[in-house]
Amino acid sequence: MPLVTYVDHDGTKHEVDVPIGENVMRGAVNNGVEGIVGECGGGLACATCHCYVAADWADVVGEPSSDDERDMLESAADEVRPTSRLSCQIEVTAELDGLVVELPARQY
C-alpha cells in the first residue's frame, strides 16, 4: 500500500498506509487523522477535507480535477494556496507512494 504522510499545522506527522483506489481523505478519516474532517463523505459538497499538497508532489498530484473542486475550495475555512486540493478528490495510486499533504489549521 502507498504511504501517505499527513502533516498537521503544528508539524506533527501521521504516516498512513492507504489502499490503492482509496482517496486521501478516507485514508485520514479511517486512520484517525484529526486534521481532515470529510463531513460530506467525499461527495464534493463541502471543503472540510482541504489540504495542501507538498510542493515536491504538486506536479504529480496535479491541479484541482474539476470546476466543482475549484468552486468548493473557494469555501475552504483556511487560506487557499496554489497547492490546495480537496483530499477526497485525490485518488491514491502506486505513483503516490510517499505523498505528503499538509493540513490547514482549521476546516470550519
Delimit the domains of the chain by residue range. Answer: 3-102
Predicted confidence at residue 85, as pLDDT, reads: 98
CATH class of the domain at 3-102: alpha beta
63: CB partners within 8 A, 6+ apart? none
d(C-alpha 97, C-alpha 106), whole Å: 26
The pLDDT tens digits of the residues spanning 36-65 come to 999 999 999 999 999 999 999 999 999 998
Say which residue the cell 474539476 belongs to: 66
Predicted confidence at residue 80, as pLDDT, reads: 97
d(C-alpha 83, C-alpha 69), whole Å: 13
d(C-alpha 90, C-alpha 32), whole Å: 18
Predicted confidence at residue 52, as pLDDT, reads: 98
Phi-psi group of 32: left, alpha or beta (phi > 0 → left; psi -120 to 50 → alpha; rest → beta)? left
